[in-house]
Amino acid sequence: MATVTTPARAPGGASEMPDTPGWARWANEHRKWLFAAPAMIFVAALIVFPLAWTGYLSLTDAEGSVRAESEFVGFRNYVDVLSDTERFWPAVGRTAAFTVVALLFEVVLGMAVALLLWRPFRGQKWVRVAILMPLVATPVAVGMMWRLIFDPNIGLANQVLGWVGIGPQPWLAGQHSALPTTIFIDVWQWTPMVVLILLAGLTSLSEEPQEAARIDGASTWQRFRHVTLPLLMPTVIVAILLRGIDALKTFDILYATKGRGGGSFHEVETLNVYAYGLSFDYNEYGVSSTVLIIFFLIIIGSMWALTARRKEAKR
Amino acid sequence: MGLSACGGGGDDSSASKTVRVTLANHVWTENIKQALPEFEKQSGLKVEITQLGEDQLSDQYNVKLNAGSSDIDVMMYRPLQEGKLFAKNKYLADLSEQVKSNKDWDFADFQAGPVEATSYEGKPVGVPIITEQEVLYYRKDLLAKAGLSAPPKTLDELKAAAAKVKAAEPGVAGFVARTGKSPAVTQFSSFLYSFGGDFVDDSGKAGVSSDAAKQAYAYYGGLIKDSGPANVSTDMSWPEAMAIFTQGKAAFYTEADSLYKNATDPAKSKVADTVGFAPFPAGPAGSKPYNIPSWALGVNDSSKNKSNAWKFIEWATGKQQTLVQQKAGVPSARTSVWANPEGTATYPKDLVEAIAASTKVGVGHDRPLVVKVAEAREIVGQPIVDAIAGKDAAAAADTANTAFQKFLDDEAK
């Protein structure tokens, strides 16, 4: 392709078309920005502005009404929130516990199911559809459904336990069992998504390393541990990243099962539920914005840590 | 009359022929929806209704009114819960002129307590549409089975009767009521008053650690803990508690009278034909149930359609509509419909008696009267859930009192 034999043109060549107007040349040189501009403006309007406004509110004592006069208080809200051991820090703890435990179960279970579905078998299509069912349901509806199932007095869960001779459990009603129960619901709903991602990763793996390992006499576990898992690692981290951010932000399931404040003893009050209560129940927009900004920084931080880890795994 | 001319104040020439009305899920709303065509025909206006659950309604107002949105004209709101906040934020239009504009509509016909609750700084900002008193719901059949001839008249009798039924009937609770920290506050208030306490005492100080209050907390929590449903959750509001009662799983239930249709409607209740009603049982300070306006209609101050908004309110709260509502089971705030035999004919007889008794001795609030009600409810509700969970109610009341005093001081600033 490089050896073009056509006779040379007049000096100057194609790059210097004499009658191209200046703006067109400029547009041509910057076209990648130009085409992206509408999207960038859109993002700015929808993300940057609200974020900046929240940031501003977090530095004021806005309460009651956003339109009411509020005073600039600097970082006082941040000091107040970060020294609040009654609601804020327990909420941070619950957010972390919810995310880590749910994620752990979802990834381990998801991996197991993905491995089972990896090799073709009869009726695989139906099994896949069945596994995806929880994923398509609305989280609020899912929350309401499990709330009924877990009702301590008339719910199905305790009835089933009764059949096998186990006494009734408080489930969502218990002060200490509520958070684990909501984690269970999250695992039930979101493991399929992890399965989906991992399955896509597994099917795109090349067969040769597996073959080679098999010929060398590696056992199934050894092949998984030393061949499949390392090759799949970038995909696993993508799954953790996507699901992790989502789990951190969980709101609907918690709100639908335990209501405002995460229950009477704040049993399932995560940062999201707390910030929601601050805005919508207490009308404390300044403090609520502060919690949200801190939460935003936590999410950005965890995302950054995970992406860094992913780059490492790819290497 | 009054509908043809642009009766109310305000002369918005750009006014739309469509009135946008936001309403809560309530029996009142269902009734008014059925009567709407009549109003539309009469007035030539079109009414667009948005209907939401209580919590969603609050959130919606928070977002829209905060943004100064004009796409709500008439709003159904809770005077005791949000009235002060909304009026203070200037979300509610001053209705002083409008309530005087039509003699037939007759503002003086409304009961004094509800009118006071829908006024701000002496000016009417809303019109009460539903009143509530707390009454005792009970199961006649279970009482007869337990050998009790009449519903309990005192809180001591209630406690004994509840324990007796629970012991006699496996799987049936003696007593059920709201248990959620915030939802329980309003129904707990009658217990508090009947023990001789109040959320704020006469000198304006927090009153939730008084001896009377401590006894009330211990009583309410203890009753649910000892005679309530097994494995009781501390998140129940009225739909959950009512479900337990209407499923036939409880003998006694204290709740607002305005919800009685849920218990007596055979389509919703398994125990419809055995439900009885009684006045709130007397405590050491007598029987002191709350008697409050639970919902009102107001006009959004940012609305560009205020005079038509008022036309809707004038019609919906007029004597005729109020009578229809009352007959359909919505206790109203108009004196005339209670005086009218037609207005009480459709109610269970024992309920009418219970309501009549309550309006005589009732207390005009069922929660602390402050601006940030949601926050205050969580503070004064904490000892309730602590008592249900079997913790020391008195200690919880002391802690709550300190927090509530701080809250009151902050709000007074």
Q: How many A/B residue pairs have CB atoms within 8 Å?
A: 76
Mean pLDDT, residues A123-145 = 88
Q: Give the pLDDT of residue A315.
A: 65
Nearest C-alpha in B relative to A168: B231
Q: What percent of chain B has pLDDT over 90?
A: 82
Q: Which residues of B touch A264 (CB under 8 A)?
A: 179-181, 234-235, 381, 385
On whether the CB atoms of residues A309 and A241 are closer than 8 A, the answer is no
pLDDT band at A130 (very low <50, low <70, confident <90, very high): confident
Given an 8 Å threshold on Cβ–Cβ distance, is A68 in contact with B244? no
Q: Which residues of B touch A283 (CB under 8 A)?
A: 62, 85, 372
How far is B377 from B355, CA to CA, in rounded Å? 25
Distances (CA, A) of A109 to A113, A243, B306: 6, 13, 59
Q: Give the pLDDT of residue B11.
A: 46
On whether the CB atoms of residues B246 and B173 are closer than 8 A, the answer is no
Please indicate if any CB of chain A lies within 8 Å of the CB of B181.
yes
A11 within domain boundaries = no
Quick: pLDDT tens for A289-298: 999 999 999 9
Token pair listed for B1: 């009359």
Non-local CB neighbours of B197 within 8 Å, separated by 6+ positions: B207, B208, B210, B212, B213, B216
Quick: pLDDT tens for B70-96: 999 999 999 999 999 999 999 999 999
Helical spans, DSSP H, in B265-372: 306-316, 319-327, 335-339, 341-344, 349-361
Q: What distance lies between CA B74 and its chain's CA centroid? A: 20
Nearest-neighbour CA in chain B from A154: distance (Å): 9
Q: Which residues of B touch A169 (CB under 8 A)?
A: 231
Identity of the residue in B67, B85, B381 whose CB atom sits nearest the CB atom of A283: B85
Q: Which residue has the higher pLDDT, B113 or B271?
A: B271
CATH of the domain at A237: 1.10.3720.10
A299 within domain boundaries = no
Angle at B34 between CA B30 and CA B38, to 5 degrees: 140
Given an 8 Å threshold on Cβ–Cβ distance, is A282 in contact with B374? yes
Q: Which residues of A touch B244 (CB under 8 A)?
A: 153-154
How far is A182 from B287, CA to CA, in rounded Å? 42
Q: Which residues of A touch B372 (CB under 8 A)?
A: 282-283
Identity of the residue in A65, A264, A281 whose CB atom sits nearest the CB atom of B235: A264
Token pair listed for B106: 């007759």
A182 within domain boundaries = yes
The tally of domains found in chain A comes to: 1
Please indicate if any CB of chain A lies within 8 Å of the CB of B372.
yes
Which of B233, B384, B407 to mutate to probe the A interface, most A CBs <10 Å? B233
Token pair listed for A315: 């290497």
Distances (CA, A) of A137 to A65, A133, A284: 35, 7, 33
pLDDT band at A2 (very low <50, low <70, confident <90, very high): very low
Given an 8 Å threshold on Cβ–Cβ distance, is A260 in contact with B381? no
Burial class (CB in 10 A: 0-12, 13-18, 19+), B54: middle
Please indicate if any CB of chain A lies within 8 Å of the CB of B236.
no
Q: Chain B, 102-121: which have a CB under 8 Å from a chain A CB?
A: none
Q: What percent of chain A has pLDDT over 90?
A: 58
Given an 8 Å threshold on Cβ–Cβ distance, is A64 in contact with B371? yes
Q: Give the pLDDT of residue A20.
A: 79
pLDDT band at B4 (very low <50, low <70, confident <90, very high): very low
Given an 8 Å threshold on Cβ–Cβ distance, is A170 in contact with B233? yes
pLDDT band at B3 (very low <50, low <70, confident <90, very high): very low
Given an 8 Å threshold on Cβ–Cβ distance, is B235 in contact with A258? yes
pLDDT at A216 over 70: yes
pTM of the model: 0.85
Quick: pLDDT tens for A225-276: 999 999 999 899 999 999 998 999 999 999 999 988 999 999 999 999 999 9
How far is A199 from A55, CA to CA, in rounded Å? 40
On whether the CB atoms of residues B374 and B85 are closer than 8 A, the answer is no
A38 within domain boundaries = no
Q: Which residues of B touch A168 (CB under 8 A)?
A: 230-231
Given an 8 Å threshold on Cβ–Cβ distance, is A259 in contact with B371? no
Mean pLDDT, residues B282-302 = 95
On whether the CB atoms of residues B173 and B231 are closer than 8 A, the answer is no
SS3 B226: helix
Please indicate if any CB of chain A lies within 8 Å of the CB of B89.
yes
Q: Give the pLDDT of residue B137.
A: 98
Please indicate if any CB of chain B lies within 8 Å of the CB of A234.
no
A303 within domain boundaries = no
Q: Which residue has the tokens 């650690």?
A: B209
Nearest-neighbour CA in chain A from B385: distance (Å): 7
Q: Chain B, 254-313: which have a CB under 8 Å from a chain A CB?
A: none
Please indicate if any CB of chain B lies within 8 Å of the CB of A279.
yes
Mean pLDDT across chain A: 89
Which of A63, A175, A264 to mutate to probe the B interface, most B CBs <10 Å? A264
On whether the CB atoms of residues B263 and B336 are closer than 8 A, the answer is no
SS3 B383: helix
On whether the CB atoms of residues B181 and A261 are closer than 8 A, the answer is yes
How far is A58 from A67, CA to CA, in rounded Å? 15
pLDDT at B2 over 80: no
A162 within domain boundaries = yes
The domain of A175 spans 92-249
Given an 8 Å threshold on Cβ–Cβ distance, is A282 in contact with B375? yes
Nearest-neighbour CA in chain B from A298: distance (Å): 26
Q: Which residues of A touch B181 (CB under 8 A)?
A: 261, 264-265
Q: Which residues of A touch B60 (CB under 8 A)?
A: none
Q: Which residue has the higher pLDDT, A153 or B192?
A: B192
Distances (CA, A) of A209 to A200, A213, A215: 18, 6, 10
A59 within domain boundaries = no
A26 within domain boundaries = no
Q: Give the pLDDT of residue B73.
A: 96
Q: Give the pLDDT of residue B217.
A: 98
Pairing of strands B74-77, B18-24: parallel
Mean pLDDT, residues B284-313 = 95
DSSP B56: H
Residue A121 has φ and ψ, to the nearest 5°, of: -150, 170
Please indicate if any CB of chain A lies within 8 Å of the CB of B229.
yes
Quick: pLDDT tens for B92-113: 999 999 999 999 999 999 988 8
